């Protein structure tokens, strides 16, 4: 193709097909596709008309559609040209939220009233100094969200007598990854927000079990929660009329301590596949629910990362209850991004400040690669005498672009 033809193709590619129509088609649509989560769990929606007939428009979120700024050190080669090829890291994502509020009322009184209400709602939503909020954008089938705070002084100006308000608000997402947003999903994790995918597996346990508390040796029945519970029955002759498997041992002074299993009685570790639909690695939250004897480990087979639990402390036979002397259903929460571990129990609602001593000091904190990840969980100490723990995995898919 000649130079002249190339130039013509370039000009054609830069020219709108229908200039007037394109301005309409590619302007912001009123689809409520941009929202910020309020403290009461509701949203302030943009590209939306509210109950007062006020139009909320987000014209752009600068920094949202691009890669965040990188930080890559330049280490010069001392014996030759150039520098060493070193990996870097991605910095916090800085955003500028731009838009307008348009009052549609015609009377002066209504304009003043609705302008005041709109400004108050905007200030409340973006009062993000002492707290943060989730900014949610419906990009495609996977809604994406970042946890943001204020970055710089917001500019909010009334620009004409009809009550039009223009705003430009600087935001910062400390975590540059944009996470999958799952509507109306909750978890009981003590974390920022409960909108997560959830997968659950057992570690070294029969494929299926019937689990409940008997009246002995416990005085109370914590069956009000939905977490794994153990059937402790005391008697010299364990028997089941329904054909389920019975396992027993003599660690309890009052007689045989019996656990009833239904289904397959073979002890086998659990494996499950979790999928990260994004283009970035993401960390996850892990919850191990007792009884847990240990030692054991959680492994991402896909990345070959392993998190090892240390054996139970001296004088103890278990890392997590319930035990033959306590009905507390205990658990461990692991935040792999912030590298925090907390032990708690559902029965009394206790939650430790830190339980870092439960994992190997040289722990390899698990993350999820884009695509499928096989997660493996086992309790090496469970043997064949008791039901084993379960592992709950909470995660969001993540995008960096």
Q: How far apart are CA 148 and CA 175, in angstroms?
A: 9
pLDDT score for 326:
77
pLDDT score for 208:
34
Which H helix or E strand runs over 289? strand 285-289
pLDDT in tens, 168-191: 999 999 999 999 998 876 656 655
pLDDT score for 11:
66
What average pLDDT score do residues 280-292 get? 92
DSSP string for 160-205: STT--EEEEEEEEESS-PEEE--TT-----SSS----EEEEEESSB
pLDDT score for 2:
62
For the cut 70, the answer to whether the pLDDT of residue 327 exceeds it is: yes
For the cut 60, the answer to whether the pLDDT of residue 386 exceeds it is: no
pLDDT score for 265:
35
Fold of 28-176: Elongation Factor Tu (Ef-tu); domain 3 (2.40.30)
Q: How far apart are CA 342 and CA 322, in angstroms?
A: 17
Comparison of pLDDT for 88 and 270, the residue scoring more: 88
pLDDT score for 218:
30
Does CATH place domain 197-207+266-399 in 2.60.120? yes
Contact present, 56 and 104 (Cβ < 8 Å)? no
Q: Which tokens sit at 327?
A: 């009905």
Contact present, 64 and 148 (Cβ < 8 Å)? no
- Quote the mean pLDDT of the chain: 78
Comparison of pLDDT for 192 and 7, the residue scoring more: 7
Residue extents of the structural domains in the chain: 28-176, 197-207+266-399
Most confident of 11-15, 120-124, 162-166, 208-212: 120-124
Range from 24-28, 247-251, 284-288 carrying the lowest mean pLDDT? 247-251
For the cut 70, the answer to whether the pLDDT of residue 245 exceeds it is: no
Comparison of pLDDT for 107 and 325, the residue scoring more: 107
pLDDT score for 323:
77
Q: How far apart are CA 48 and CA 136, in angstroms?
A: 14
Comparison of pLDDT for 316 and 284, the residue scoring more: 284
For the cut 50, the answer to whether the pLDDT of residue 205 exceeds it is: no
How many residues belong to the chain?
401
Range from 65-79, 96-110, 199-213 carrying the lowest mean pLDDT? 199-213
Question: Can you give the pTM of this predicted structure?
Answer: 0.76
- Tokens 């090892």 belong to which residue? 308
DSSP string for 322-348: --SS----EEEEEETTTTEEEEEETTT
Q: Which tokens sit at 357?
A: 């001593």
pLDDT score for 29:
65
Range from 187-201, 268-282, 298-312 carrying the lowest mean pLDDT? 187-201
For the cut 80, the answer to whether the pLDDT of residue 71 exceeds it is: yes
Contact present, 74 and 94 (Cβ < 8 Å)? no
% pLDDT > 90, the chain = 45
Q: How far apart are CA 275 and CA 6, in angstroms?
A: 44
In this prediction, residue 39 has a pLDDT band, given cuts at 50, 70 and 90, of confident
Q: Which tokens sit at 108?
A: 């002066």
Topology match between the domains 28-176 and 197-207+266-399: no
pLDDT in tens, 227-244: 333 443 333 333 344 433
pLDDT score for 220:
32
pLDDT score for 204:
63
Q: Which tokens sit at 374?
A: 């096989």
What average pLDDT score do residues 2-20 get? 65
For the cut 80, the answer to whether the pLDDT of residue 314 exceeds it is: no
For the cut 70, the answer to whether the pLDDT of residue 375 exceeds it is: yes
For the cut 70, the answer to whether the pLDDT of residue 163 exceeds it is: yes
């Amino acid at each position: 193709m000649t130079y002249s033809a190339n130039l013509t193709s370039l000009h054609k590619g830069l020219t709108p097909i229908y200039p007037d129509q394109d301005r309409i088609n590619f302007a912001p649509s009123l689809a409520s596709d941009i929202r910020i989560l309020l403290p009461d769990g509701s949203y302030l929606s943009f590209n939306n008309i509210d109950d007062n007939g006020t139009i909320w428009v987000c014209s752009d979120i600068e920094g949202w559609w691009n890669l965040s700024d990188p930080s890559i050190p330049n280490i010069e080669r001392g014996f030759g040209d150039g520098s060493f090829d070193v990996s870097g890291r991605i910095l916090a994502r800085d955003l500028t939220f731009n838009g307008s509020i348009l009052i549609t009322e015609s009377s002066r009184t209504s304009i003043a009233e609705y302008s005041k209400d709109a400004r108050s709602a905007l200030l409340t939503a973006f009062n993000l100094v002492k707290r943060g909020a989730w900014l949610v954008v419906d990009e495609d089938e996977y809604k994406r969200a970042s946890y943001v705070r204020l970055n710089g002084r917001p500019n909010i100006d009334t620009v004409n007598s009809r009550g039009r308000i223009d705003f430009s608000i600087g935001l910062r997402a400390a975590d540059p990854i944009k996470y999958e947003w799952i509507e109306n999903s909750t978890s009981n994790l003590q974390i920022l927000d409960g909108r997560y995918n959830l997968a659950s597996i057992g570690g070294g346990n029969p494929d299926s079990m019937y689990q409940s508390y008997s009246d002995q040796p416990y005085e109370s029945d914590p069956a009000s929660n939905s977490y794994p519970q153990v059937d402790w029955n005391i008697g010299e002759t364990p028997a089941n009329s329904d054909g389920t498997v019975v396992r027993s041992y003599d660690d309890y002074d009052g007689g045989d301590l019996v656990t009833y299993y239904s289904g397959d009685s073979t002890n086998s570790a659990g494996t499950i596949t979790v999928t990260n639909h994004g283009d970035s690695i993401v960390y996850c939250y892990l919850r191990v629910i007792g009884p847990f004897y240990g030692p054991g480990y959680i492994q991402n087979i896909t990345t070959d990362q392993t998190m090892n639990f240390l054996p139970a402390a001296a004088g103890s036979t278990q890392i997590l209850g319930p035990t033959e002397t306590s009905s507390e259903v205990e658990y461990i929460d692991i935040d792999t991004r912030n590298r925090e571990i907390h032990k708690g129990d559902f029965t009394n609602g206790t939650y430790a400040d830190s339980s870092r001593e439960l994992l190997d000091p040289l722990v390899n904190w698990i993350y999820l690669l884009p695509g499928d990840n096989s997660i493996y969980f086992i309790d090496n100490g469970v043997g064949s005498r008791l039901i084993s723990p379960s592992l709950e995995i909470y995660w969001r898919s993540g995008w960096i672009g």
